[in-house]
Amino acid sequence: MKVVLVVAVLRDRLWAYPWLIGFLVVFIGYQIYDMIVHFTWGMLGITVFDVFIVALTLREYRLHRARHHARHTERSGSAPTDGP
């Protein structure tokens, strides 16, 4: 599952970002449970790394979504409005 989502993200599929973030958050939850049952420094390191990856993926998703929105508004010819 993770490999499929990573490949989709690398191919700039916007739908894959939330799925990858959600999958990683669930996986991080499992890692935390595993550390509660049996703590290891290695698992802590992997968990911290995964949290970092989620933060980077979330940042990248926001950037891609903003670019996608800008392209869509550009194509439709309508300028964004700031209000009345």
Domain boundaries along the sequence of the chain: 2-65
Could you tell me the two tokens for 69? 């929105």
pTM of the model: 0.78
Which run of H or of E encompasses 46? helix 41-76
| Per-residue pLDDT tens digits of the chain, which is 84 residues long | 888 988 998 898 999 999 999 999 999 999 999 999 999 999 999 999 999 999 999 999 999 999 888 887 877 765 555 445
* CA 23/CA 45 separation, integer angstroms: 18
